[in-house]
A = this chain, B = another copy of it.
């Protein structure tokens, strides 16, 4: 009789979508659960039916966005075997993703190290992403193309440089398509990493 059997999930997603927008534009604490519900076209009770806690919205949002990012990075990526070239491919893809998803990118910038997200959630997210980066680094080290520094330091540096790059392109949106800046941003990164 009904043609919309899966509609349920819609509401949960609508809540996440509204939360993303509000968290980015007003901040986590300045966003009331009521406003999230309202923006999602849902009752307050519904929100708490799907998420036990306001913090849980944040956690799930954080995790799902990181996951989406990671998935995007890996899928449809042709690895040439040349470390630098592959690194460049990934880097540009990451920048592309950030530019295509301004909201999610701003979310990264604001919450990647905010106290509004529990440390363990952040750690969990890191692991799910960094898999492919670690792999690349290890491969690069074996071929003596990437500097032989401690992995933890390299990873932190990658993350820091990536955030810096997208912050730059966020502050200067018109440069997103500019080849000079884009290649410069990769070069900065790569110079740091290479042996």
Verify if A164 is at the interface (C-beta below 8 Å from B).
Answer: yes
User: Which residue of the partner chain, among B115, B152, B161, contacts A157 with CB atoms under 8 Å?
Assistant: B161
CB-CB under 8 A from A26, the residues of chain B are: 115
Assuming A150-B184, A185-B153, is B113 touching A110 (CB within 8 A)? Answer: yes
The SS class assigned to the A binding surface is helix
Assuming A116-B27, A156-B168, A163-B160, is B147 touching A188 (CB within 8 A)? Answer: yes
Report the minimal beta-carbon distance from A133 to chain B, rounded to whole angstroms.
Answer: 14
Verify if A50 is at the interface (C-beta below 8 Å from B).
Answer: no
A1 and B114 alpha carbons, distance in the complex (Å):
48
Interface size class of A (residues with CB under 8 A): 35 or more
User: Which residue of the partner chain, among B113, B147, B187, contacts A109 with CB atoms under 8 Å?
Assistant: B113
Best-buried of A154, A157, A172, A193 by chain B (most CB within 10 Å):
A157
Number of identical protomers: 4
Report the minimal beta-carbon distance from A35 to chain B, rounded to whole angstroms.
Answer: 15
Verify if A10 is at the interface (C-beta below 8 Å from B).
Answer: no
CB–CB B150/A115 < 8 A: no
Report the minimal beta-carbon distance from A189 to chain B, rounded to whole angstroms.
Answer: 7
5 additional A-B residue pairs with CB within 8 Å, beyond A30-B115, A147-B191: A153-B181, A157-B164, A160-B165, A188-B192, A192-B192
Q: Which 9 A-B pairs have the closest CB atoms?
A: A160-B164, A27-B115, A192-B192, A29-B29, A160-B160, A149-B184, A156-B164, A156-B168, A188-B192
In the assembled complex, 6 residue pairs joining A and B whose CB atoms fall closer than 8 Å, in A order, are A109-B113, A147-B188, A153-B184, A154-B188, A157-B165, A157-B168
